[in-house]
Structure 1
Amino acid sequence: MVPLSRVMMSNVKTIVWPKLILFGDSITQFSFQANGWGAEIADKLVRKCDVINRGLSGYNSRWAKLILPRLIKQNSTADNNIVAVTVFFGANDSALEDKNPQQHVPLQEYSENLKEITRLLASVGVTADRVIFITPPPLHEPAWEKECILKGSPLNRHNSVAGQYAQACVQAAGQCGADVLDLWTLMQKDGQDYSVYLSDGLHLSQKGNQFVAKHLWELLEPRVADLPFILPYWGDVDAKSPESSLLCEQ
């Protein structure tokens, strides 16, 4: 005799949760730490959307475009429910070639890599209107130079160069039809002290994480505003017949 639980499981449709994928370098990888921008976005979307961290510390856009097909499978049912993808590379690409050749990617190649990432996403059904590019933030050279010296190397990035990559990111987004969050410009707007947004001159401080979360949410909210709350509020569950509330298709 087949157990009732097995019969019930075979008749229940699996809930496929919408997904937001955060794709980037260490600034994305660290975004799930306490008070991180990714964690704040995930909290806003709890029971509406899974927020998936695909941040890879130290990676550049050249490596990103190679591994992206391994992260999102074509014709996968689970991947057909992606509401948005953030693409946050450039902080490593913009490393100076003579000081950090391993991570450096030439400016023109960086731009083409971003476009290729958009094409790869489109090939698995993630259209450009669901892609949000994020530029590298500004670099505070005095603080980052101290970090470099501690590791036995000279300063390997310049803020002006990061700005060139940020501009290339903005242009690539426009050419692809994607949205863009220009951190490099916003964090320096009106000559403000952008160093408060950075913990070590390159990575985000708590205030920087809050800044990114706030401005990213402004771009994300229209894309997720209509997502329903998944599964009923506990007070709406029929206590005498929970199956009627919990096993109905949403």
Structure 2
Amino acid sequence: MVGPIRPQFVLFGSSIVQFSFSHQGWGAILADLYACKADILLRGYAGWNSRCALQVLDEVFPKDATVQPSLVIVYFGGNDSVEPHPSGLSAHVPLPEYVENMRKIAIHLKSLSQKTQIIFLTAPAMNETHIAEVFGNSLGRSNESCRKYSDACVQLCQELGVKVIDLWKALQQRDDWLTACFTDGIHLSCEGSEIVIKEILKVIKEADWEPNLHWRSLPTEFPEISPCIFVDPEGSTAIKVSQMDFEWQTQWH
């Protein structure tokens, strides 16, 4: 364990989470914004569905852990929504089972501590044509199936009082979403991740959480040690480096 203990944000999900540090992904942006403020912990497993998640839930999020996460961002649904295969080997999870699996995940996370906050990400939109071009076929995936699983996740979160981001709708707000948001029709490009991170930061900023977990609100670690730099030619105005907003961060206020 490396100290001092910071707030922990856990990203838990399938490939949308595992690859969130690739292609200037949303996980990497979170880690950048929360540097010196919170630890971003990646628990992403490509190919997984909600059924897989339940098998490791107690191990990834033990209830007796000394430190519990301040925020857990959960994504499952894209793989659950694929068509069933006659062999039974696909990642498909029937919609009613998916909803119950996500309910169990939410209830477990809520039980970790009173300070643990939760955001669910729904099944995103996808480009079926692009998938077929890259993989040779649609892999049993359809945008319409993703919509059904996304809607079900939103409805569940409203029932449970869990914050939720409808990625199926969010990605399609761009006019050119079909060509801009994906690397292969499924996984997110830089532009796709920008949409995700904007939605996440919006939820965090507007949430009535105590403490506020927005990156601008959390204290910086060891601010008193941070050296100063002079920001005018005369050398009369100084600012601590730890208090500076760098150019690439200003868009995420």
- Band the TM-score falls in, shorter-chain normalisation: 0.7 to 0.9
Distance 1:148 1:156, change over 3 A: farther
Alignment match, 1:113: 101
Say which SS state the counterpart of residue 67 (structure 2) adopts: helix
Aligned residue runs from structure 1 range 172-187, under 5 A: 172-187=156-171
Distance in 2 (CA, whole Å) between partners of 1:51 and 1:26 is: 16
Distance in 2 (CA, whole Å) between partners of 1:24 and 1:109 is: 17
CA apart distance, 1:154: 5.4
After alignment, is 14-23 or 84-93 more displaced? 14-23
Matched, 1:194 2:177: yes
Counterpart among 188, 209, 212 of residue 196 in structure 2: 212
CA apart distance, 1:34: 4.5
Structure 2: which amino acid aligns with 1:234? I
Between Structure 1 and Structure 2, which shows a larger proportion of helix residues?
1
Q: Is the 1:148–1:156 contact (alpha carbons within 8 Å) kept by the matching residues of 2?
A: no
The alignment's TM-score, normalised by the length of structure 1, stands at 0.80
The alignment's TM-score, normalised by the length of structure 2, stands at 0.79
Distance in 1 (CA, whole Å) between partners of 2:195 and 2:172 is: 12
Alignment match, 2:27: 38
CA apart distance, 1:236: 6.3
Say which SS state the counterpart of residue 78 (structure 1) adopts: coil
CA apart distance, 1:59: 0.3
Distance 1:37 1:73, change over 3 A: same
Counterpart among 159, 170, 176 of residue 154 in structure 2: 170
Unaligned ranges ≥5, structure 2: 207-211, 229-253
After alignment, is 157-166 or 207-216 more displaced? 207-216
Counterpart among 107, 119, 129 of residue 142 in structure 1: 129
Structure 2: which amino acid aligns with 1:137? P
Matched, 1:130 2:133: no
Q: Is the 1:111–1:172 contact (alpha carbons within 8 Å) kept by the matching residues of 2?
A: yes
Distance in 2 (CA, whole Å) between partners of 1:64 and 1:233 is: 42
Alignment match, 2:6: 17
Say which SS state the counterpart of residue 231 (structure 1) adopts: coil
Alignment match, 1:98: 85
Say which SS state the counterpart of residue 17 (structure 1) adopts: coil
- Answer with 1 or 2: which has the greater Rg: 1
Q: Is the 2:76–2:122 contact (alpha carbons within 8 Å) kept by the matching residues of 1?
A: yes
Report the number of matched residues: 217
Structure 2: which amino acid aligns with 1:231? F
Matched, 1:203 2:187: yes
Alignment match, 1:76: 65
Distance in 2 (CA, whole Å) between partners of 1:200 and 1:126 is: 39
Say which SS state the counterpart of residue 53 (structure 2) adopts: helix
Alignment match, 1:29: 18
Distance in 2 (CA, whole Å) between partners of 1:23 and 1:164 is: 21
Matched, 1:221 2:212: no
CA apart distance, 1:125: 1.8
Q: Is the 1:138–1:194 contact (alpha carbons within 8 Å) kept by the matching residues of 2?
A: no
CA apart distance, 1:136: 1.5
What stretches of structure 1 move > 4 A for 4+ residues in a row?
none
